[in-house]
Amino acid sequence: MRLVVGTPDLYLGADDVVESADPGVVALAAELRLSHPDDVGYARAAYEWVRDTVVHSVDADDPRVTVSASDVLHDGVGLCFAKSHLLVALLRAQGVPAGLCYQRLYDDSTDGHMLHGLVAVHLDGGWHRLDPRGNKPGVDAQFSLGAERLAWTADPAQGEVDYPAVYATPAATVIDALRGSDDALALCASGLPSDLG
């Protein structure tokens, strides 16, 4: 898939969601970097830390809604979007360009569609999508700079979409949904955005 991106330097900033300058984010990034001095090794370590240490809200049956990187780091839980916010913040904290991507996936539990959050990282001269959602039976996302190893592959026959844009800041529709809810489980059951609208 060909991603639509700007220059890598556009994907190094911080905001109130992707808090790459937050002290906790900076400290964790520095700790992970100690044993991974090269960018690829560091990106893999940051990805695996977020994927495996921060529990997906639905898997944990945890209704807390986290949005910003510091929220996710503090609470140790989050939806795919929130986990992506933390991973992008960790990558940027160590000078690795990263942005946010989205998929529109069919949800058989609601017979509708919902957005799913991913990360794109700029390494070895190109952009690579990663899925820090967290693995479980039937989901095996991995760090890969070759063939993508995402949690799900979009199926156009099901009305699913791989949006090609890499966003420097989170999509407004995602932030509005997260900030407009006080229950992550209820949000997943019926309130996630169905497209980037």
Span 164-191, pLDDT tens digits: 999 999 999 999 999 999 999 999 988 8
pLDDT value of position 197? 78
pLDDT of residue 1 exceeding 80, the answer is no
Task: For residue 122, give every residue at least 6 positions away whose Cβ sits within 8 Å of its Cβ, in sequence order, or none.
Answer: 5, 8, 11, 96, 97, 98, 128
pLDDT value of position 169? 97
Please report, as a single letter, which amino acid is at residue 197: G
In tens, the pLDDT along 53-89 reads: 999 999 999 999 999 999 999 999 999 999 999 999 9
Task: Give the whole-angstrom CA distance, residue 123 versus residue 1.
Answer: 16
pLDDT of residue 100 exceeding 90, the answer is yes
For residues 187 and 82, is the Cβ–Cβ distance under 8 A?
Answer: no
Please report, as a single letter, which amino acid is at residue 179: R
Task: Give the whole-angstrom CA distance, residue 69 versus residue 197.
Answer: 24
In tens, the pLDDT along 113-156 reads: 999 999 999 999 999 999 999 999 999 999 999 999 999 999 99
Q: What single DSSP character describes residue 11?
A: G
The whole-number average pLDDT for the span 93-103 is 98
pLDDT value of position 190? 84
Task: For residue 165, give every residue at least 6 positions away whose Cβ sits within 8 Å of its Cβ, in sequence order, or none.
Answer: 3, 4, 5, 101
Task: Give the whole-angstrom CA distance, residue 176 versus residue 33.
Answer: 33
pLDDT value of position 110? 80
Q: Quickly count: other Cβ atoms within 10 Å of residue 23's Cβ.
A: 9
pLDDT of residue 102 exceeding 90, the answer is yes
Read off the pTM.
0.97
